[in-house]
Amino acid sequence: MDNRKGRLMAVKFVNAKDSFLHVNLINVSLMQGKVYELRDETRGNCLAVCSCLATPLKNLKDNEVGMSQKLAKAIGLGGSESLVLTEIENLIPKSSQVIFTISDPDYAILVMNATKVEYIMLDQIRLVKRGQNVVVWISPMVSITLNTEKILPESELALLTNETELHILPSSDVRSVSRLGSLEDPSPEEMQTGLVCRVIFSEKPCATPFVAKIHPSVKPSFLFALGKILSVNKTMHLQLISDSEVSPAVDFLSNLPIIYLDKRARDQANLFFDGCKIFLEPLEIVRNAEFIVHVSKNCSVQSVKDDLKSLAEKLNRELLVVNQTVFPLKNNLAVKFEMKTSHTNLSSTSIESCNMGVKLGKFEIKNEPAMVEAEHSDHQIFSSWLPLLNNLKKSLVTNARTHVKSPIAVLKGTRGSGVETFLQQFVQLVVAPPLKLHDLALDCKAFKGKTVDTLKNKLMELFLEGTKHDPCIIIFENIDQFFPLQTHDLHESPESSYRLGVLQCIWNLSYSFSKRHNCYVVTTAVTDHEVKIWDDMSVPVELFQIPDLSLEDKVQALKQCLTKLNCNWTNELEDNSAQIIEICNYQDICDIAGRATFEKLKSMISSDEPVVITTDDLSSARNFLTSQSLKDFNLLRIGNQNGAASSSGRWPNVGGLSDVKEKLTEMIFWPFMYSHLFATNPLKLQKGALLYGMPGTGKTLLAEELAKSSGMNLIHIKGPELLNKFIGASEEAVRNLFEKASAAKPCILFFDEIDSLAPRRGRDTTGVSDRVVNQLLTSLDGVDSPAEAGVWVLAASSRPDLIDRALLRPGRFDTMLHCNLPTRLERSEILQILSSGLKISSDTDLNKLAEMTDGFCGADIQALLQTAQLVALEEFVDVFSEETGDKSMEHQEQLEVNWNHIQLALQKTRPSLSQEERRRYEKIFKEYELSLQPVGRGKRAVFKQRTILA
């Protein structure tokens, strides 16, 4: 192609939403990124300049150039014509300011979408020529046409970059064009050319329709044309009258004046919701700005405040500055900066660098609406959450006024603690008067696995939507979707960079939008890990910890759930429910109510009677469900059969071990059962105990039985299950565990095989165990007195000598309880217990069996009885199938374990530990016990002394 002569190409209209030229693949390699002058083939005049897009369009021929039909029309091309394309080779100057004009209807659209235009403009247009029209698409259906009025410094062409300041003026306001870009002050008229207001629908109809009321402190009475927010084609005239009875004068959150509009005018303007924004364009220009303040980029807010203060003092008058931020100066004196609304300034630094008009007059700072104490109605807010709800609301208001706080609030609650419900209650609170925030939500579940770019586009749409409804609150639901479980590695990994990308995107948008608009982002976090990720990004999110519900609130939550499920409840349930759901969290209560209702409905399927839930229904539903807070853990039992603690027969299933049982009863059972007595007694309670002994001696059984008999939750951790190869993950698992235990209180945290989780430090080459031990120590030290905290810690090990010694110090696992191999008497007791569920013939002598099982531990005895049962079963099957050919086992009741079966089982069963192994264990325990006693003092000293005396 001869660049000087140009190339003749036929114009084809393509479905593009931009002001670029499009060509096919072959031409792209020649033309991409280049800039062309477009001349009319017949008349030869230059119509426009355009740059060529690098993305090829398949359906174009080699001699065709594609452009949008709208653009073609805007630059004066009619029908399908041909153009001569001449490349512009000279360097195109980058311009600092470009001034466009725009038709009045398009201006109305622009005003409502200014922020969006800022973001999308450079994607659609890069090059402009003085006098040329360009088209910008605000949405696929809506576009505006801009005419390039002026380029500064003076030039024919301008390349638009991020640095270019764009000014767009309505064409009716051409007078001001000549002044733009100069350092001249804008005239007072320019400053009063428009007003953005928030509409509140007036309850009483006005005598004349199309009259809007406004508080006199904001504007005197003028005639305005009303441009509406949703449908942009209509313009209606509106009489604006001042009325001292209307209040508030200014919506303090958005700093927008509020006007009250009659219903008829509202319908005419297609305004659908209270609180929407409208743009008022004056029909009369009013000269009333008396003083101009220049606010430059480098000028501090304080210096402006000082200037204005001295001015107010000098004039002995009060200052009124409409729009933008309010700075209180002294009693009843305030200033607000007014940006020029005569044009929309699109530079990112516009706020700092523009001139602002100050109007002198009286201005009353509207007092911050008192934090309306949230209503404590039956269906709404729990009193335990009320202080936090109000704090969060306060933070939001402060942020809206000062922009000094973080735009993101993270609500942290444990699993099942009702985080989502809390969020709903918060939203209810802020969308109601007086704040009237608009709420938008994004369910992150829908974006799981999507690219950061896809998410970014969606977020951009969401935030832009938010700016339309400013002030608004944006809620990220289920944000944990972006935190895959195994992202604890500190090294670069696809997961960690994805997560970082997502969060950075959320942060960047929240930050930039909240600077200019009142957008406040609220999200949730369930684990420490989720909170830490924000920390790692070093962005200042505000963290709010959701408190546990009080017992009264739990009962209220239960009633709410049952009411929602259309159920009634009995009076006795009213009295007993607190006891049943005492240790449940919010989600558990919802689940229990749901389960109880479901079971009740099942039982009365053919009845039309109303559903009435009783104490029994609730208790059985509670026993059926696993607590939410414990779902990730190995939960052995919650409470006993009745859902409440029993005070008698505490160890019915554990034989022998009387010392250990007694000590555990004193240490855990009593302080829990009689907490009121212990609370008034200054006794220092022990919070942790270590059960040690040979394998199979009933250590796990003891922990289970303790939880069962006291009605406490039990979290059972098998040593190595917490260890994770990712750096930091094991420590975090330990931290989470203690958090869960606290959420599930009253709770016993039971570390089985603790020697494998917390071996002595310094022996592990990977360092994982060392860090886990350190974390365990920190977490154990963090557990308060069990009577208050409701968390007791138990550990079990058959090799206590391998455990890190620091764990055994006072305040940690400071009580050592030895679970011995059972003696003959104890074996007899165990045999009684374990055989109680079996059918045993009368010829069986359990005492004799106890004598014959020397060296057997509890687990061995259980194995022996199981083997005896199997032997009995084999015999039973043989006899019945041979004699009767009956294989249906109808005669099961005749299945019985007799002495003979036991003898046979005894021949097949050996103690799990040989004599030598038992001796080795005994030696280890002895040495271990000795090593624990302080040298020269205490027991060891006594022991030594005794030796000497003997």
Ligand X SMILES: Nc1ncnc2c1ncn2[C@@H]1O[C@H](COP(=O)(O)OP(=O)(O)OP(=O)(O)O)[C@@H](O)[C@H]1O
Give the nearest distance from C-beta 691 to ligand X in angstroms: 8
Can you read off the two tokens belonging to residue 200?
């509140």
Question: In angstroms, rounded to a whole number, what is the distance separating the alpha carbons of residues 883 and 503?
Answer: 75
Can you read off the two tokens belonging to residue 400?
């809206």
Cα distances (Å, whole numbers) of residue 391 to 386, 398, 531: 9, 10, 19
Give the nearest distance from C-beta 693 to ligand X in angstroms: 6
Give the nearest distance from C-beta 660 to ligand X in angstroms: 9
145 versus 862: smaller Cβ distance to ligand X:
862
618 versus 714: smaller Cβ distance to ligand X:
714
User: Measured between alpha carbons, how far apart are the two ends of the chain, in Å?
Assistant: 116
Give the nearest distance from C-beta 688 to ligand X in angstroms: 17
**CB within 8 Å of 490: residues ≥ 6 apart:** 727, 728
188: left (phi over 0), alpha (psi -120 to 50) or beta: alpha
Torsion of CA 90, 94, 97, 98, to 10 degrees: 40
Give the nearest distance from C-beta 754 to ligand X in angstroms: 11
639 versus 858: smaller Cβ distance to ligand X:
858
Spell out the SS3 assignment of 826-849. HHHHHHHHHHCCCCECCCCCHHHH
112 versus 817: smaller Cβ distance to ligand X:
817
Give the nearest distance from C-beta 579 to ligand X in angstroms: 30
170 versus 696: smaller Cβ distance to ligand X:
696
Show the DSSP H helices in 853-950 as ranges: 858-884, 899-908, 915-932, 938-949
Query: What are residue 613's phi and psi, to 5 degrees?
Result: -90, 135
282 versus 656: smaller Cβ distance to ligand X:
656
842, exposed or middle or buried, with CB in 10 Å at 0-12, 13-18, 19+? exposed
Give the nearest distance from C-beta 784 to ligand X in angstroms: 28
Give the nearest distance from C-beta 873 to ligand X in angstroms: 19
379 versus 908: smaller Cβ distance to ligand X:
908
Nearest to 520 by CA among 466, 470, 474, 464: 474
Q: What residue type is 417 in one-letter code?
A: S
407 versus 696: smaller Cβ distance to ligand X:
696
Q: DSSP of 260-299, one letter per residue?
A: EE-HHHHHHTT--STT-EEEEEESS------EEEE--TT-
Tell me if residue 584 falls in helix, strand or coil: coil
CA dihedral (70, 74, 75, 79) positive or negative: positive
374: left (phi over 0), alpha (psi -120 to 50) or beta: beta
Give the nearest distance from C-beta 651 to ligand X in angstroms: 9
Binding site for ligand X (CB under 6 A): 654-657, 695-701, 796, 798, 830, 833-834, 858-859, 862
Nearest to 263 by CA among 173, 345, 203: 203
Can you read off the two tokens belonging to residue 665?
């009863």
Give the nearest distance from C-beta 859 to ligand X in angstroms: 4
Give the nearest distance from C-beta 669 to ligand X in angstroms: 17
308 versus 654: smaller Cβ distance to ligand X:
654
Give the nearest distance from C-beta 675 to ligand X in angstroms: 27
Other Cβ atoms closer than 10 A to 575: 10
276 versus 654: smaller Cβ distance to ligand X:
654
Give the nearest distance from C-beta 802 to ligand X in angstroms: 13
Give the nearest distance from C-beta 672 to ligand X in angstroms: 21
Tell me the residue nearest to ligand X as measured from the CB.
858
Give the nearest distance from C-beta 919 to ligand X in angstroms: 18
Give the nearest distance from C-beta 815 to ligand X in angstroms: 17
The Cα angle at residue 259 between residues 253 and 260, in degrees rounded to 5: 120
837 versus 936: smaller Cβ distance to ligand X:
837
Nearest to 261 by CA among 283, 233, 239: 239
Give the nearest distance from C-beta 855 to ligand X in angstroms: 14
785 versus 866: smaller Cβ distance to ligand X:
866
Q: H-helix or E-strand containing 201? A: strand 195-201
Q: HSE (CB half, 13 Å, CA atoms) of 389?
A: 24
639 versus 698: smaller Cβ distance to ligand X:
698
Q: 69-105: string of b/e by CB count within 10 Å (b at 16+)? A: bbbbebbebeeeebbbbbbbeeebeebebbbbbbbee
452 versus 897: smaller Cβ distance to ligand X:
897
Tell me if residue 343 falls in helix, strand or coil: coil
339 versus 660: smaller Cβ distance to ligand X:
660
Question: In angstroms, rounded to a whole number, what is the distance separating the alpha carbons of residues 590 and 562?
Answer: 8
945, exposed or middle or buried, with CB in 10 Å at 0-12, 13-18, 19+? exposed
Question: In angstroms, rounded to a whole number, what is the distance separating the alpha carbons of residues 536 and 614?
Answer: 50
111 versus 834: smaller Cβ distance to ligand X:
834
407 versus 656: smaller Cβ distance to ligand X:
656
915, exposed or middle or buried, with CB in 10 Å at 0-12, 13-18, 19+? exposed
Q: HSE (CB half, 13 Å, CA atoms) of 694?
A: 23
Question: In angstroms, rounded to a whole number, what is the distance separating the alpha carbons of residues 219 and 910?
Answer: 98
Strands (E), 103-159: 127-129, 133-137, 143-152, 157-159
Are 152 and 504 in contact by the 8 Å Cβ rule? The answer is no
